[in-house]
Amino acid sequence: MSGIKLSGDSSGTTTTGGMTVREMTRLERIGAHSHIRGLGLDDGLQPRKGGSQGMVGQAKARKAVGVIYRMINEGKIGGRAILLAGKPGTGKTAIAMGLAHQLGENTPFTTMSGSEVFSLEMSKTEALTQAMRKSIGVQILEETEVMEGEVVEIQIDTSFASGDNKPGGKKGGMEKTGRLTLCTTDMETVYDLGTKMIDALSKEKVTAGDVITIDKASGKITKLGRSFSRSRDYDAMGSQTRFVQCPEGELQKRKEVVHNVSLHEIDVINSRQQGFLALFAGDTGEIKSEVREQIDAKVVEWKEEGRAKIIPGVLFIDEVHMLDMECFSFLNRALESDMAPVLVIATNRGITNIRGTEYKSPHGIPLDLLDRLMIVSTDPYTHDEILKILSVRCEEEDVEMADDALELLARIGTETSLRYAIQMVITASLAAEKRKSAQVEIEDIKRVYKLFVDVKRSTQYLMEYNKEYMYNELDDSDEYAVDNGDEEADKKEDSMETSP
């Protein structure tokens, strides 16, 4: 398939060979939590009503996480840990995502699932260390020299170079030379341009009347906008044109630039075997502790000199009951270090075995770690809240649904699970599409309810036809629980670990 546009011009769609390709920006993927855009709190940390920022209900937990948000945002705390505990589908992951949005781009937020530490090609503690260091931001301030001014004129001469008399020179190649005149309100200077600068200027489409900066060290050109003095000549220019003042004073200026990196990125760049390319491959391997010690010392030094700021971010570990004793004790210790992020963990387990041991503990978390946690619990949703969440999802997935259909879906959600109901939104809309209706009606919900069974019905079916399945071990006295999908896997793994 060819012709997918990355950034479209004014026309929304392109037709290539009879095939319509939608603009990429409109094809943004919809994830389970893509409707969540924050915690939906007002300035006094009170949850706003009516699905603000995609968040519905769960007021107590949102408020609690709002307090955490305040503390993180003020930059004072690190090394605290918060546990989100509650039944499956009560919005634990959603609230963590809300916190991430609320904190914004400049606060690092790392998300991982407990089981991830077992699947990487490195030790568990290394995986956790990397995750921790990804969650600590370092803001490095740097002064650079730039030239900033309004372009008065660009003059480019192209001449054919003979090339014959130059050893290794391109035969008959084009040679470009040029001059650039820049001005501020106080002065004007003409600069000679080399080929590289000419290319850079034409790549950025710089023309007379643009206000630009040129980084002296790297030669990087940045367009700041069009000068106001030109605003009259360009009535026909699009509304996206930004007009700026012609700079004042000297053409050469010192400018402060801020680089945002994480400790992990500094680690990778400085670990000699891999270098920064490993950042792109994601295959960073294990990093020596000496490297980290040096970096920590350096960062502290920069901080004292006022050249860097440390920003403790958040490490979020979902399904934290998948961690084992070794991981928990590592976390316990790591939280005490000076440069620890805020740890947010989530679990849906009650009193259960700590992975790989015979010890039972609340949430499957050892008591000494539990003792440090601030626990935020999430409660199951009411019918009305489920209805509201579903209507938010309909909006997110661009689905029109009749009120009575939504009501039915909410009832299904209350009786089965919120997640099952959410899955039905898009499937029901496909069913409606099939009957060429723009709106989902009750009959579409009924149809997909028959096509896709929920866990309860599936289990019932399994019990009825138990004998016909392979490896059935169902004990009649056993109460089955909903959402214990990975529990079985847990048990198997555990027994493998403990048996020699």
Ligand X SMILES: Nc1ncnc2c1ncn2[C@@H]1O[C@H](COP(=O)(O)OP(=O)(O)O)[C@@H](O)[C@H]1O
d(CA 277, CA 269): 8
Residue whose Cβ sits closest to ligand X: 91
CB 318, min distance to Mg ion, A: 5
Indicate whether 47 belongs to the interface with ligand X (CB under 6 A). Answer: no
Residue 490, token pair as written in the block:
């847990």
Tell me if residue 125 falls in helix, strand or coil. helix
CB 364, min distance to ligand X, A: 15
Among 55, 334, 401, 424, binds ligand X (CB under 6 A): 55
Indicate whether 422 belongs to the interface with ligand X (CB under 6 A). Answer: yes
Indicate whether 57 belongs to the interface with ligand X (CB under 6 A). Answer: yes
Sign of CA dihedral 460, 461, 465, 469: negative
Among 47, 66, 89, 209, binds ligand X (CB under 6 A): 89
Outline where DSSP puts E strands in 276-341. 308-312, 314-318
Bridge partners of 139?
Answer: 260, 309
Residue 395 contacts residue 107 (beta carbons within 8 Å): no
Among 38, 54, 149, 178, binds ligand X (CB under 6 A): 54
Only segment of 7-15, 30-38, 125-133, 489-497 that touches ligand X (CB under 6 A): 30-38
Q: 149 vs 413, which CB is nearer to Mg ion?
A: 413
Site size toward ligand X (CB under 6 A) is: 22
CB 250, min distance to ligand X, A: 53
Only segment of 53-61, 158-166, 203-211, 299-307 that touches ligand X (CB under 6 A): 53-61
Among 4, 19, 32, 375, binds ligand X (CB under 6 A): 32
The residue to which tokens 């993927």 are assigned:
29
HSE, side-chain direction, 13 A CA sphere, residue 10: 3
Q: Does residue 396 come out as left (phi exceeding 0), alpha (psi in the -120 to 50 range) or beta?
A: alpha
- Contact of residue 94 among ligand X, Mg ion, none (CB under 5-8 Å per partner type): ligand X
Q: 56 vs 198, which CB is nearer to Mg ion?
A: 56
d(CA 56, CA 379): 12
Residue 40 contacts residue 52 (beta carbons within 8 Å): yes
Residue 280, token pair as written in the block:
């792109």
Residue 347 contacts residue 363 (beta carbons within 8 Å): yes
Q: Residue 57 burial by CB count (10 A; 0-12/13-18/19+): exposed, middle or buried?
A: buried
Among 70, 419, 446, 456, binds ligand X (CB under 6 A): 419
- Contact of residue 33 among Mg ion, ligand X, none (CB under 5-8 Å per partner type): ligand X
d(CA 184, CA 149): 5
- Contact of residue 414 among Mg ion, ligand X, none (CB under 5-8 Å per partner type): none
Among 39, 83, 85, 92, binds ligand X (CB under 6 A): 92
Rounded to 10 deg, the angle between the 383-396 and 403-415 helix axes is 120
Residue whose Cβ sits closest to Mg ion: 93
Here's the x/- map for ligand X, 247-266, by CB under 6 A: it reads as --------------------
Taking only Cα atoms into account, the Rg of the chain, rounded to an integer number of angstroms, comes to 30
Q: 248 vs 486, which CB is nearer to Mg ion?
A: 486
Residue 109 contacts residue 103 (beta carbons within 8 Å): yes
- Which helix or strand (DSSP H or E) is residue 268 part of? helix 263-270
CB 68, min distance to ligand X, A: 16
- Contact of residue 88 among ligand X, Mg ion, none (CB under 5-8 Å per partner type): ligand X
CB 453, min distance to Mg ion, A: 22
Q: Which of residues 80-119 bind Mg ion (CB under 5 A)?
A: 93
Binding residues for ligand X, per CB under 6 A?
32-33, 36, 54-58, 86, 88-94, 348, 389, 392, 418-419, 422
Binding residues for Mg ion, per CB under 5 A?
93
